A = this chain, B = another copy of it.
Amino acid sequence: MSDDQLNLKIIKFIKETNRKEIQAILDELHPYDIAKLYKDLPRKHRYKFLLFLTIEQLAYLTSELGTKDQIDILHQLGVENSSKVMDLMDNDDLANLLHELGADNIENFLSRMKQEESQAVQNLMKYPPETAGRIMTNRYVWIPFHYTVQDVVDKLRSFAEIAETINYLYVIDDQKRLVGVISYRDLILARSDEKVADLMYSRVISVPATMDQEEVARVIERYDFLAVPVVEHDNVLVGIITVDDIVDVVISEANEDIEKLSAAGKAIDFDTKAWTAAFRRLPWLILLLIIGLLSGSIISGFEETLTKVVALAFFMPMIAGMTGNTGTQSLAVVVRGLITRELDKKTVLRLILREFGVGIIIGFTCGILIAGIAYVWQGNPVLGLVVGCSLLATLIIGTLAGTVIPLLLYKFNVDPAVASGPLITTINDILSLLIYFGIASVFISYLV
């Protein structure tokens, strides 16, 4: 059945108020599919559709949607039902939603939720966004270390509904300190009277609640974990982070890097309004406009040279563009390399030397090429020499700038992706114009 057919069918059943058939369809669908169905429904049918869902289904659906749709649904459901839905939502999703709602609404919603659930989500919100504490969940089963396998099975039975479906169980002592980990598979293979303390693996790797989410992703990626426990001071277990949330983190961090590298402005997606998108992009553009005027004032400083040999202007965009581009290439290598590699002095030195070598190789290749072309095109060997030497020099300097600037920023704890493409491009623009017109001015008597 295609998406469109499914849609038509659901609309038909909504009109017929046929709860049984709608439930039969929903039973076949995963939360993502239910959310897709919901978003594809015409607006007038959406709210009616909600009336046919159970509270659990509403919670699944809400978790899959964006903040705007989430708030929309909660308003439609009314106070009582929306509190019930929020009780069932994953706490990390809920913390995110409440963060977006603003202080007034948070109080309003939290006061109506179950004491225990509202406590849990408030705990999460203590931690700053993008930390382990903020993306962890409290829906997992912990095991006191004195339990037998049978005790564990009994506990699992009563918590079967709420436990995240991962394959580890974390073991704690009486002070809630993390002391071990045991897998479902180990439990299945053990006798029911065996002690958890004898079966568990006690060298657990955990992350502190204040750790940056990108760092957590690195831990999970390195060790190929499906989940990692989150602890506070004194090793007290406060939650777990599962790998499916980490996949989202990795995607959004990569998006952030790309946004910064292209200075695209924060968090613009297909649904962002034109005004918002323009507003987020403008600061960068205005900054670049001002830097672009700097290039202009450099050219105006060489007005005399330019007036004498207007042909110099023909090669200006090519030199500036090539220099900017080679810088961006180096920048991309550095920014992505830093994600998987820690830096020591040796690595840095080797990288800078390598890029210096790259600059020399591409500088000579492109420089000789353009010298020949310029000579043939304009019939002026000195012009060819000036353009060729300029390109050689600017490509070497551009490559080094694209390497050294992000490394320096990294050293001073500034995100190197902020040394974004356009910024490096513009710095290289200015450098390349200075070099080009500088060399041209020296040779000006041979050029005219």
A residues near B (Cβ < 8 Å) are 28, 30-32, 153, 156-157, 160, 163, 165-167, 183-185, 187-189, 203, 205, 217, 220-226, 243-244, 246-248, 250-251, 254-255, 257-259, 261-265, 268-270, 272-275, 277-278, 281-282, 284-286, 288-289, 292-293, 295-297, 299-300, 303, 306-307, 310-311, 313-322, 325-326, 328-333, 335-337, 339-341, 347, 350-351, 354-355, 357-358, 361-362, 365-366, 369-370, 373, 421-422, 425-426, 429, 433
Contacts and interface: CB of A to CB of B under 8 A. Distances in A.
How many copies the complex holds: the figure is 2
Contacts of A284: 325, 329
Contacts of A217: 247
A30 B203 CA distance: 10
A244 B247 CA distance: 9
B314 A316 contact: no
Contact of A361 (B160, B275, B328): B275
A288 B322 contact: yes
B370 A289 contact: yes
B251 A221 contact: yes
A270 B30 contact: no
Contacts of A314: 296-297, 299-300
Most buried by B among A288, A354, A373, A426: A354
A205 B33 CA distance: 12
Most buried by B among A278, A311, A341: A278
Contacts of A257: 254, 258
Contacts of A341: 270
Most buried by B among A217, A254, A317: A317
25 contacts: A30-B205, A160-B185, A163-B185, A166-B167, A167-B226, A221-B248, A221-B251, A250-B251, A254-B254, A254-B258, A255-B336, A258-B258, A261-B332, A264-B328, A268-B333, A278-B362, A278-B365, A282-B365, A284-B325, A292-B321, A293-B318, A313-B313, A316-B317, A325-B425, A421-B421
